[in-house]
Amino acid sequence: SPSNDQLLRGVVAHALRQSAINLPVLRAPGETMHALMRRALLPTLHALEHSERGDLARLILTEAHQQPELARLYKDMAFDPWQRYVTGLLQQAVDEGELHTPSVAACAQLLSSPFWMGMVRSGLPATGAQACDVAELTGMLLDSLFGVPAIK
């Protein structure tokens, strides 16, 4: 019979099946890295709020202090692969001269911050302007990093 670790890995793997890290997109001819990143990242983040993946992340955030092995598992299977995926896209943008930054790693961390803010915010009462749209915030950060003027 499967161990607890194997069961947890299966649950996390199942929840991550719709993550951008598992659904890589092909770059369209002439597509900028900025456009590719918006197309690759934002839909999966938009779907996160009401998904198994979002529920699992909230559960792990809640239980991480009591269950450090659960936090390690999520870090290994979800957070680290997401950071590597985003870092690779950002590095490609730097290599192609589209993104100018002293730290690709810091940019990748910045792009993950709306996710964590959304996870914390989802556990608190919020309405209207207090609500946190992870995809929208990530899109705004992408636009800012790539120097794209904000749309009003």
> Residue 28 class from Cβ within 10 Å (0-12 exposed, 13-18 middle, 19+ buried)?
exposed
Give the separation between CA 120 and CA 41, rounded to whole angstroms: 20
Task: Tell which residue, 58, 49, 60, 48, has the closest CA to residue 21.
Answer: 48
Mean of pLDDT values over 84-89? 94
pLDDT of res. 6 = 75
pLDDT tens digits along 90-135:
999 999 999 999 999 999 999 998 887 877 666 555 555 556 788 8
Residue 41: how many CB atoms within 10 A of its CB? 21
Per-residue confidence at 78, pLDDT binned at 50, 70, 90? confident
Find where tokens 């996870």 sit: 119
Is there a contact between 112 and 142 (Cβ–Cβ < 8 Å)?
Answer: no
Work out the average pLDDT over 70-82. 84
Query: For residue range 9-41, what is the model confidence (pLDDT) as tens digits?
Result: 777 776 666 666 667 788 999 999 999 999 988
| Rounded mean pLDDT, 78-101 | 94
